[in-house]
Structure 1
Amino acid sequence: MASSEISSSSDSKKTVLIVGAGPAGLATAACLTSKSIPYVLLEREDCTASMWKKLTYDRLHLHLPKKVCELPLLPFPKDFPKYPSRDQTVAYLDHYAQHFGIRPVFNTNVTSAEFSPELGLWVVMAKQNATVVCFTASSLVVATGENGEPVMPLLPGHEEFGGKCIHGKDYKNGVKYGGQKVLVVGIGNTGMEIAYDLAICGAEPTLVARSQIHVMPRDVFGLSISTFGVSQQLLKVFPTWFVDKILVLLSWLTLGNTAKYNLIRPEEGPLSLKARTGRTPVLDVGTVGKIKSGEIKVMPAIDRLTATGARFVNGVEQDFDAIIMATGYASTVCKWLKDDGMFGGDGLPKALFPNGWKGEFGLYAVGFGRRGLFGCAHDAVLVAQDIAKENHDAT
């Protein structure tokens, strides 16, 4: 670095330090504001909700109804549709920050965070261009989320492939892919929707189904009743295993036997699998229909890439003009947080949702429960309540 400078946040014994100004950080800041608890919010990018603004595709909509996805203390506008678009969600998040007077410290990349027993405070080091800044605080809220950096696995033969290969974060829409053969690696919600968008734009997409997956209708029989809403109501009365059977039956009745199209369901039910592994069922927005019509093809895992395309484990070889890796993201927490107990090697809390929000020495996590915006809201409320209680007990 060209130069360095050390500074610290004022009144450290009462200050909360939040790392990450995405939905999780914004929700935490709002909840702390409502309880008059001072905080400092650090963000490595130059804006709030940077992933929504910079790393999402144009067609993206919320997968769950807006009522489930609203952050604490401020609902989505009433005139927004049931599943707000990306632009509408960004507008909501911007309004949320403005409404609660949230002003993050931008372009501040945290490099280390460690609890100091001698000080009784968290000591956080960060880079601001060529400057090193030190913050100290009584509580540290990790709100960087599960999607800290893209996962881009190197496929066998990747050096041979002559076409373009990008991560899903760089995909905006399928306009420039019209007429091209495009391989989409990954059958999560992102991969399925990118394939759908490519088909709409006149491309010839092929999905790689490397693993088994539950594909569920977003709404029951195309009505205004969401599958998520149905599952939540049923869980109030029936055990998870029984609700799983109902959801699978609804999926069969709505989407048919997806195994005919190489989309194999796991034996374990969607809710049980989600609770145990965090794997989210795909909520179909029209992709299955395109697969049935032949506009989207589904192939098994890739054996290796070739100069002109890919060879699959079933021996079939096909040509492709481009490859889009819808292979998701990984947490970056373990790269900077020096913590022995709360987080595992994957950068996620060891305790499963809804219990992974609190650690020791004033350490908290918001938005790591693999529950999207709903999980962010859930955690933020509990964190603010707990910090308020700790502050009250200390006085």
Structure 2
Amino acid sequence: MDCSREIEGKQAHDPLFDKIMSKSSRCVFVPGPVIVGAGPSGLAVAACLRSKGFPSMILERSSCIASLWQLKTYDRLRLHLPKQFCELPLMGFPSEFPTYPTKQQFIHYLETYARKFEIRPRFNETVSPADYDKVIGFWRVKTVGKKLEETEYVCRCLVAATGENAEAVVPKIDGMGEFGGDIRHTSHYKSGKEFSGKKVLVVGCGNSGMEVCLDLCNYRAKPSLVVRDTVHVLPREMLGKSTFGLSMCLLKWLPMRLVDRFLLIVSRLMLGDTARLGLERPELGPLELKDLSGKTPVLDVGTLAKIKSGDVKVCPGIKKLKRHTVEFLDGKMENFDAIILATGYKSNVPSWLKEEDMFSEKDGFPKRPFPNGWKGECGLYAVGFTKRGILGASMDAKRIAEDLERCMKEKAAPYDHHQRSVLLLKSSSSSPSP
């Protein structure tokens, strides 16, 4: 569908159109989908669309692609899954990369990906808000720039690609203002170097919390780990293969509960009884729990050995903070120099997308569970909300591109291959430079 031509038609025949559009200080017509978010999910959608001849525009509030990876992750971070499960569509990792690429290698991969598919996001543009205008039949996406300049983008299709990790989750703990020491989220943690010799309490026993504890140990800090809930800890590799890869292979032949039982038996043999270390396992198996709730099992990279040796101490939940002191739920009190909150992230879609049908106001995720949460009404799509990492985002990106191609074919002649190419050239030459 030739969006610019359709808008021109509406403008010529609708006397209200000029009044509606004049509300914005600057208006840009986008002859293709607008994608909000330049992380791996947004890049994947843009590449899939481009491979089919569709132009698109990415709006990104930060100053770079993959801002979570570039600006808010710790230095020692590596992909927790083997690289073949973290590839974006249409381009694999370099063969010389290790099985578990480093943070720097993954960022290099994403930057190379963006260059290959000529993806040029509009940086430093924060969307607020985006809503569907029934009068003109298009999405109106308003942004605020670095210098508070306002722009409105008008498009037929809108892709929410801000993902599951848009905003840090910072819990409210009684007495936080009295603690006096450093309290920071892992999004502001780089390495344990600045905590050498200090007692540090890490809150949260997911993959990040476990790895931060290991990093602190490597810099001779004295970490303790708050474990507030049950958790599955699995070895990163089993029987010479990645645990994730082995699980995916077994699921092709065996039911999920049987695969879970196998994983727990092998984990018990390799890691021992984690409950004796204060890490009790949930009643549901790791794969079943992941499928139902999205809670990811911890893949151990060495932290468990530090817990066994006493280098990392396991603590119960926090009741209250006092001056450099933490009171735990069991009544015990202990002094700490700093607290690291490995409490995860959340979706921020409800803060900028004004619609009530596709996304839940409560958690910012699509209301329909995987694999049906990628498509909404009126040209609205979602990518990166599957709770299945980059693999799930890649699946959604392909579906979105295929769906738009199917829709255009059903609309027939106005959007044939030649005109898609014309639109692509037009958008690349006339769109504002990033």
Q: TM-score, normalised by structure 2?
A: 0.88
Matches within 5 A, 1:46-195: 46-128=63-145, 129-195=147-213
> Which amino acid is 2:110 matched to?
L
331, 334, 345: which one aligns with 1:315? 331
SS at match of 2:381: strand
Cα RMSD (Å) of the superposition?
1.2
What are the within-5 Å matches in structure 2 for residues 367-386 of structure 1? 367-386=384-403
Cα deviation per residue 1:274-312 (whole Å; 9 max; x = unaligned)? 111111111111110110011101111111112122111
Structure 2 residue matching 1:8: 3-state secondary structure: strand
AA aligned opposite 2:161: A
AA in 1 matched with 2:247: S
Larger Rg: 2
Deviation, 1:194, is 0.3
1:294 maps to which residue? 310
Distance 1:355 1:342, change over 3 A: same
Q: Which residue of 1 aligns with 2:293?
A: 277
Partner of 2:350: 334
Paired residues for 1:236-251 under 5 Å: 236-251=252-267
Identical aligned residues as a percent: 50
8 Å Cα contact 1:186-1:209 kept in structure 2? yes
What residue in structure 1 maps to residue 273 of structure 2?
257
Measure how far apart 1:149 and its partner are. Answer: 1.0
* Structure 1: gaps of 5 or more residues: none
Aligned equivalents of 2:33 and 2:72: distance in 1? 28
Show CA shifts across 1:143-168 (max 9, x none): 00111111111211112212110111
Given that residues 4 and 131 in structure 1 are in contact (C-alpha distance below 8 angstroms), is that contact kept between their aligned partners in structure 2?
no
The C-alpha deviation readout for 1:78-109, integer Å capped at 9, x for no partner, is 00000000000000000000111000011110
1:8 aligns with 2:28: yes
Moved more, 51-60 or 367-376: 367-376
The answer (yes or no) to whether the contact 2:169–2:345 under 8 Å persists in 1 is: yes
Give the SS at the match of 1:134: strand
The TM-score with structure 1 as length reference comes to: 0.96
- Is 2:30–2:56's contact at 8 Å kept on the other side of the alignment? no
Query: Which whole-Å CA distance do the structure 2 matches of 1:59 and 1:29 have between them?
Result: 29
Distance (Å, rounded) in 1 between the aligned partners of 2:364 and 2:163: 9
Residue 52 of structure 2 corresponds to 35
What's the secondary structure of 2:27's corresponding residue? Answer: coil
The count of corresponding residues between Structure 1 and Structure 2 is 388
More helix as a share of residues? 2
Conserved 8 A contact 2:30-2:57: no
Q: Write out the 4+ residue segments of structure 1 that deviate beyond 4 Å after TM superposition.
A: none
8 Å CA contact retained: 2:89, 2:398: yes
Q: Are 1:229 and 2:245 matched, yes or no? A: yes
Displacement of 1:4 in angstroms is 6.8
Shift of 1:10: 4.2
How far residue 178 of structure 1 moved from its aligned partner, in angstroms, is 0.9
| Unpaired segments ≥5 residues, structure 2 | 1-22, 413-434
Partner Cα separation in structure 2 for residue 239 and residue 253 of structure 1: 22
- State the Cα distance separating 1:244 from its structure 2 match: 1.0
* Structure 1 residue matching 2:159: 3-state secondary structure: strand
Q: Which residue of the other structure, out of 323, 326, 341, is the alignment partner of 1:325?
A: 341
Secondary structure class of the residue paired with 2:314? strand
Distance 2:405 2:303 in 1: 46
